[in-house]
Structure 1
Amino acid sequence: MTKLITIWDTSVGTLNVGDEIINEAVKKELSDIYQDATNLYLQQHTISLVAEVV
């Protein structure tokens, strides 16, 4: 039976490079531990579509 792993991806919707580094490390470690798993990535941050007028 295939495992489904849900990952809250904090690198989507942010300019914080640290979030990307952490998520890449998590992806690598999970792929080593769960070779036959299916990963579901969900965004953690809300992406604002409203532009600020200055």
Structure 2
Amino acid sequence: IDEHIDHRNLNDIMYPLNSSAENLARMFFDIFKPMLPELYAVEVSETPKTSAIYELDN
């Protein structure tokens, strides 16, 4: 993850999508799924009370 997003503008990385928590959760899922075959969901928190979850469709 560090090589993809550390010290970079998320809007540049996500272009043409916006850098919403929903889109970040999907991006992280796509990055980690090949390394973690049993991965079924990724949650990205925006604040302590709000988050977005991307789940694998069954």
- Greater relative contact order structure (CA < 8 Å, 6+ sep): 1
Say whether the fold is shared (TM-score over 0.5). Answer: no
TM-score under structure 1 normalisation?
0.34
State the TM-score, normalizing by the size of structure 2.
0.32
Task: Name the structure where helix makes up a greater proportion of residues.
Answer: 2
Q: Which has the larger radius of gyration?
A: 1
